[in-house]
Amino acid sequence: MLAKRIIPCLDVTGGRVVKGVHFVDLVDAGDPVEQAANYDAQGADELTFLDITATSDARAVLLDMIRRVAEQVFIPFTVGGGIRSTEDIREILRAGADKISINTAAVLDRDLISQGSERFGAQCIVVAIDARRVRPEGSPKPDLGYAPDAQIEWKVYTHGGRTVTDIDALEWAREVEQRGAGELLVTSMDADGTTSGYDIELLRRISSSVSIPVIASGGAGHSGHMYDALTLGQADAVLAASIFHFGQTTVGEIKQQLADRDIPVRL
């Protein structure tokens, strides 16, 4: 049976891994190759690198990092951040990444999804969807749990969550699938950084409206949240950053806890 995947996400800048909460108070957290090897040894199923200060000057540094990771780590890894063209995609894949993830560029230039998918194969095109619930200014924080009957709307955000669009997240998910995305990385802006759980209803609705795999992101605080995302949320994989980076837990511990609750994982 296909295993559910646990994917640590590493933020990188200038060829180094950085840790912080909400992209502030960033501290250097070491060499990407060492970190990647460490997560590989813990049993990570894949890795995602997010270049958080992606600029064209930094591209050479990023490509060098990808090459070094690919020489040492033999599990799949995805690279995202600042990818704008099929030429950017080509360079990153050539350097050794298995997949790329695009968010803002996919919204601004929808053809990039289909062009990338046709040229390099759908399997390497991950479209990242940052979504936030629509709610009146000043209203209380929404409950992000299972609520199949609730009337909820989510809008897509770009530019690292700074820019709201008029795009409905569910419609966007279906459109990017049609345009050739191979996977969706769905991040709840409401849940991100809270460590109080994924937006289960967002995951469930997106997952049930597309046939490509959905990776849950934003809000993981412990394995119970992952369990909910993989069962109620129908996600195929879960991505997490802070719970792994700050040594709270390991990928191996999370997997064991999920296995104890009958989630198929690679142990």
Residues of the shown chain interacting with another protein in the complex, contacts defined by CB under 8 A: 1-5, 40, 45, 67, 70-71, 74-76, 90, 93-98, 119-124, 182-183, 211-213, 236-237, 266
Q: Map residue 231 onto helix, strand or coil.
A: coil
Closer CB to another protein, 78 or 103, in the complex: 78
218 and 189 in contact (C-beta within 8 Å)?
A: yes
- Residues whose CB is less than 8 angstroms from the CB of residue 57 and which lie 6 or more positions away in sequence, other chains included: none
**51 classed as catalytic:** no
Which residue in 11, 40, 199, 236 is the catalytic one? 11
Closer CB to another protein, 70 or 152, in the complex: 70
Closer CB to another protein, 63 or 189, in the complex: 63
Which residue in 40, 45, 88, 130 is the catalytic one? 130
Residue whose tokens read 């390099």 = 120
- Residues whose CB is less than 8 angstroms from the CB of residue 17 and which lie 6 or more positions away in sequence, other chains included: 10, 11, 28, 29, 30, 31, 32, 35
**130 classed as catalytic:** yes
Please report how close the Cβ of residue 61 comes to another protein at its closest, in angstroms: 18
Rounded CA gap, 52 and 23, in Å?
8
Please report how close the Cβ of residue 74 comes to another protein at its closest, in angstroms: 5
Closer CB to another protein, 20 or 76, in the complex: 76
Q: Which residues in 176-194 are b (16+ Cβ under 10 Å) and which e?
A: bbebbbbbbbbbbbbbbeb
Please report how close the Cβ of residue 216 comes to another protein at its closest, in angstroms: 14
Mind telling me the catalytic residues? Answer: 11, 130
